Amino acid sequence: MQEAVRDSRDGGAAGPSAPETLTDWLRGQFSDVIDPVARRLGGLGVSPNAISALGFLLQLGVGLLFWSGRFQIGGLILFFGAPLDALDGAVARANGKDGRFGAFLDSTLDRLSDAVLILGLTAYHIRADAYLDVGLLLTALVAAFMVSYTRARAEALGAVCKVGLLTRLERILLIALLAALGLTTVLAWALAVLSVVTVIQRVVHVHTTCADAE
């Protein structure tokens, strides 16, 4: 789960209107499961920042599995560990400690998680001399950071910018699914193309928003 203030820690920002992203929709669908768990963890004194750090360490481990060629097990771990991306924000809200540093740390660790996952895949393909896949994955890495940056910059200008095909949750699920299926070349193409398309969608969205406001 974007970005300057991550979706999992800006709960309620979407308001009562229709969900803007898959992240928003899933949060609404599974809130009856996540919120009680979050309240329980908060009651036990579990820090949301510790959950964020645990999520990063898990994805670091997945990145190492990708590097070693263990795509299936890495994809499965990534898929079943994905709820941690929502749990830290829910615990923060349950504790009443949904502070700025927590959002900053969460977003920073998300960017590092994106990097270790994609670089793990890249390192494997370098060893396999699959240089087209390497180029695609490096393109995807840059574009993934640009997806985050465009939202951060837009929000600094006062514009809401959650649009796009491949926000962070979609990216994690895509990597998890295609890695678990062993479709690493398809994954490289999908990550690169969809990430670039998402950046373009956000640039167009912000241009339209700013033009409408003038």
CA distance linking residue 102 with residue 49, whole number of Å:
6
Q: Taking the mean position of all CA atoms in its chain, how far away is CA 204?
A: 21
Active-site position among 110, 114, 133, 212: 110
Kindly calculate the radius of gyration of the chain based on its CA atoms and give it in whole angstroms: 17
Q: Is there a catalytic annotation at residue 24?
A: no
What single string gives the DSSP state of each residue in 38-104?
Answer: HHHHHHTT--HHHHHHHHHHHHHHHHHHHHTT-HHHHHHHHHHHTTHHHHHHHHHHHHT---HHHHH
Residues carrying an active site annotation: 110
